[in-house]
Amino acid sequence: MVRNPIDRLTDGMPRGYRALIDWLATVAFALAIVLFVKTEVANPYRIPSSSMEPTLHCAKPAVGCESDYSDRVLANRFIYRFRDPRRGEIVVFHAPPAAARLCQGGGVYVKRLIGLPGDDVSERDGRVYVNGKLLHDSYVLPADRDTITRDFGRVPPGHYFFMGDNRADSCDSRTWGTVARSALIGPVFATYWPPQRIGSP
């Protein structure tokens, strides 16, 4: 008969102590699994502003929010170890220092990846162009476009250009520049709260 390490460790102890140690070991193992998943696999994030409306909702009474509850999303924390980020993905990342100065604060942001390293990004009357070609961004509602016309230049090597889907109300790479790959946490792969919003964004 194969005995597990806990049984061998508690051999000879009273039954009550053995049961308590077995229970504590089970709880500790479960917590270790949860922490590993949270740190290395998937982590939950809340949508704090209206910059991704209506793709991802933030909570009223904040200006521009369409819902009474913020969407809670899960980000894949390990996938970028195996592949490069892709244009169009909604990505969670650590905002650069300039974002804290120029927006409502720093911390963790959730935006859509628009420009890859080497891409030339510009905006003309609210329409985005990448390398001179119109970006097909049907996820942006007409009412959420702005009227900006500006050339943002070429995205540096190892950096990425992000924009919110609510272009008229998003403090993003147009304001504070590009984001280094080392600051990317991972792409959003699911909305898990509120229940009526469960699914992929």
* DSSP string for residues in 12-42: TS-HHHHHHHHHHHHHHHHHHHHHHIIIIIE
User: What is the number of other CB atoms lying within 10 angstroms of the CB of residue 187?
Assistant: 22
DSSP run (H or E) holding 73: strand 72-76
Judge whether 51 counts as a catalytic residue. yes
Q: Which of 51, 67, 122, 170 is catalytic?
A: 51
Judge whether 111 counts as a catalytic residue. yes
> What is the C-alpha to C-alpha distance for residues 112 and 80, in angstroms, rounded to an integer?
15
Q: Which of 49, 50, 67, 111 is catalytic?
A: 111
Q: Per-residue b/e over 48-69, b at no fewer than 16 CB within 10 Å?
A: bbbbbbebbbbbeeeeebebeb
Catalytic residue list: 51, 111
